[in-house]
Amino acid sequence: MGVLLRLGLVILGVCSVAHAQSAYGVYEFAGTEFGGDGQPATRAPLVQPQGIAVDRDGSIVFADAGDHRVRRFLPNGFVSSVAGDGIAGPGMRLRTPYGVAAAPNRDIYVADLGNARVVRVAPDGSRQEFGGFQQPRNVAVDPNGVVYVSDFGANTVYKLGLDGSLKSVTAEPLRSPAGLTCDSAGVLYVADSGNQRVIALKNGAIRTVLKDFGAVTSIAVDGLGKLYAAGGDRVAVVAPSGEVTILMTEADEVALDIHGSLIAVARKQIRTYSPGGVTVLAGNAGIAYTGDGRPRDEWRFLHPTATIRDSAGNLYIADTGTGRVRRIDPEGNLSTLVASLGEPGYFAFDLKNRLYFSDSKSGSVYRIELDGTSKLFSRGSGTKPFVRPLGLAFDKGGRLYVADTGNAMLRRIDPDGFVSTIAGGGTSTKDGFGTSIALESPVGIAVDGGNTVWFTEAGRLRKMGFDGRVVTLPNIPLVDPRGLHLDSQGRLLVADAGANRVLRVDTDGTWEILADTLNGPTDAWQEADGSILVADSGSNRIRRLAKLQVAPVEQSPLRVIGVVVPGGVVELESDQAFPSPASRVWFGDAPAEVLSAAATRIVVKVPEALPAGWTEVRVEDWAVAPVEIVASARIENEDGSINSSEHPASRTGWVTVRMPGSGSVVTAEIASLEVPVVSVNDSGGQLTIVLQLPGGFLPSGRSELLLWVDGKKAPSPLNIMIR
């Protein structure tokens, strides 16, 4: 069956004689990009803080490469975001930013390494991008505003012109240059990390300042000409005379504040060092990806791999990137059940309802007892230890099957602890019997009621019968299938990380795509209500797939006009007459207030308490149509931040409006002022509108942004904050 969704042509599968197509919506369940903006900086979750710079007002700007943001520590002790929103990407987002520099005019330059560019962010939030780099690692600005960029991949340091031109500053070959800094006289210092030295450049001449201190990646110079070089567990201080002293101080990155005190990155924190001791300015390594005991909108995960729920309603999450097993209890509280692991992978319950999980880094399988304590269960046999074990599954006889990924084998652990190899180790990857064939990195594993063992590997779904024969299910389009589970009807749920989708496969080989807009899903687990929880590893989220109970659009005369916001106003139109002017309208199970009605048009107020996501709008029992409820249409500032009172837009700056709908001609207005429309993109029912805000008389604070799409006014105006 096929379903075309109004407010966007959402294709949820690809038709084929081999499979059916299902309409499933993708919803947020757990995990956010919470960054702590507007809160004390010591509560800010930092993932991989890197380059540091000190702005003229005394605030400290630093890059969080692992969280794809540039942050600012304010003199009042709070933290804010300068650029990036926690999601890696091009355009207004960042991807693994490393170095930052503050120019005399307060422009911030960012070495956006993952996007191979340098980004300039002006005080008003406007941006400029410079390309032509391979791996821009660090950036520095001298007292005259000249910008220098170290290119780790090109083994050179460039002078960056205002027109984007690049000029190498030295003909002498460098090796993986990293940290840069300039002194008050305009001398450029370079951490030539591959050559394990720090050099000074002036008028083309090179002078070695520090050598034999290791691969220095960060340097700073104070007003007296003393150079500081970060060495991880120590800092070298080089006096103008050349004398070197060592500070036994942890520092991965260094800078100097406006008072000359040393600032450093250490243990995922921004710290300052003074004769009085060490002060943590920003970052809390303990909450970087936890959110334990915090509100749901502050929960963070790092590459979650798998989920499973017990009979008491506790949900367990293998939070692989943090080395933890996390738990969400039935009351909705998040906690850490097991910490200090290597890389927890997949789960399984035994016949006594004890939870087992694999740890691919240590090559182990652990068991969590009913009292919550964990203990080592198995590391494989003495002659063949596990290597990166992942998928786990029990059969009805209590035997545990292990996808021994690193050994390219399927292993079985009997109740007495004996470990045997049941498949893999042979020479050919073709179908065959047990240990006579070769496997290719098996990951997911499931055992059905007939003791057939199903497993995923290298773009294939395979099964091993009671006779030991391994057979590949043909014509299933898999790229990098990983997690594998059986649903309540014995069908297989396959999380295909390589294709960003979840499939459901029947045992006869027919298949259907449940969702294909995910980001590296590694596991899919069916809940009791039929919905499916997905460990969407690439987005650091747990997502829920729920079936859309809607009639195909081709069978419904009902159309929804406008952005559907809780408490907002939308129009319902039809080519046929409604049953009566007094027709009642529901959004899901919530009744809507009818504001006005005509023969083919009804204006309604959307119920206030609707959750975001897809539902259906129904007029009496006459017609039904799918509709997406959005918390609000999204307005992004020029730096990629979401427009809000904490992140207002700048006059004359650009904003991007993202909203459901279709159209090509857009006009906009704020405070009776026409807003120039830069571009309109209709990507299958999702409008992306770029606007340039007017200057002059545009009021600051909150204003209404009015939009007309193809001549029709959006019924619900958007609120925009102006600086």
Q: What is the pLDDT of residues 150-184, one digit of tens each?
A: 999 999 999 999 889 999 998 888 999 999 999 99
Is the per-residue pLDDT at 318 higher than 50? yes
Query: How confident is the model at residue 697, as a pLDDT?
Result: 67
CA dihedral angle for residue 493, residue 497, residue 498, residue 502, rounded to 10 degrees: 30
More confident residue, 416 or 684: 416
For the ranges 213-227, 291-305, 610-624, which has the lowest average pLDDT?
Answer: 610-624
Q: Are 410 and 439 in contact (CB under 8 A)?
A: yes
Q: Are 426 and 415 in contact (CB under 8 A)?
A: no
Q: What is the pLDDT of residues 597-644, one digit of tens each?
A: 888 888 888 887 677 677 788 887 778 887 777 655 678 888 777 777
Report residue 544: phi and psi, to 5°.
-115, 130
Q: What is the mean pLDDT of residues 43-56?
A: 91
Distance between CA 99 and CA 216 in Å, rounded? 14
Q: At 235, list the tokens.
A: 């800092």
Least Cα distance to 111 among 227, 31, 218 occurs for 218
Distance between CA 619 and CA 591 in Å, rounded? 10
Report residue 543: phi and psi, to 5°.
-115, 155
Confidence of residue 696 (pLDDT cuts 50, 70, 90): low
Query: How confident is the model at residue 251, as a pLDDT?
Result: 94
Displacement of CA 51 from its chain's centroid (Å): 21
Percentage of the chain exceeding pLDDT 70: 91
Least Cα distance to 319 among 330, 296, 332, 335 occurs for 335
Query: How confident is the model at residue 618, as a pLDDT?
Result: 84
Report residue 539: phi and psi, to 5°.
-100, 5
Q: Are 438 and 408 in contact (CB under 8 A)?
A: yes
In the block, tokens 């799409």 appear at 709
3-state secondary structure of 297: helix
What are the residues facing 221 on neighbouring strands? 227
Distance between CA 442 and CA 422 in Å, rounded? 13
Q: At 233, list the tokens.
A: 């567990």
Query: How confident is the model at residue 6, as a pLDDT?
Result: 25
Query: How confident is the model at residue 134, as a pLDDT?
Result: 95
What is the average pLDDT score of the chain? Answer: 87
For the ranges 87-96, 154-163, 221-230, 624-633, which has the lowest average pLDDT?
Answer: 624-633
3-state secondary structure of 301: coil
More confident residue, 319 or 25: 319
More confident residue, 351 or 14: 351
Handedness of CA 421, 424, 425, 430 (dihedral sign): positive
**DSSP class per residue in 499-526:** TTEEEEE-TTS-EEEEE---SSEEEEEE
Residue 662's CB is within 10 A of a number of other CB atoms, namely 16
> Rounded to a whole number, what is the distance in angstroms from the first to the last CA of the chain?
50
Q: At 621, list the tokens.
A: 């029992």
For the ranges 489-493, 662-666, 674-678, which has the lowest average pLDDT?
Answer: 662-666
Is the per-residue pLDDT at 496 higher than 80? yes
Q: Are 520 and 538 in contact (CB under 8 A)?
A: yes
Is the per-residue pLDDT at 564 higher than 90? no
Distance between CA 702 and CA 664 in Å, rounded? 27
3-state secondary structure of 571: strand
Is the per-residue pLDDT at 296 higher than 90? no
Is the per-residue pLDDT at 570 higher than 70? yes
Q: Which of 20-34, 215-229, 585-599 has the highest mean pLDDT?
A: 215-229
Q: Which of 281-290, 460-469, 548-557 has the highest mean pLDDT?
A: 460-469
Q: What is the pLDDT of residues 1-28, one digit of tens each?
A: 222 222 222 222 233 334 444 467 787 8
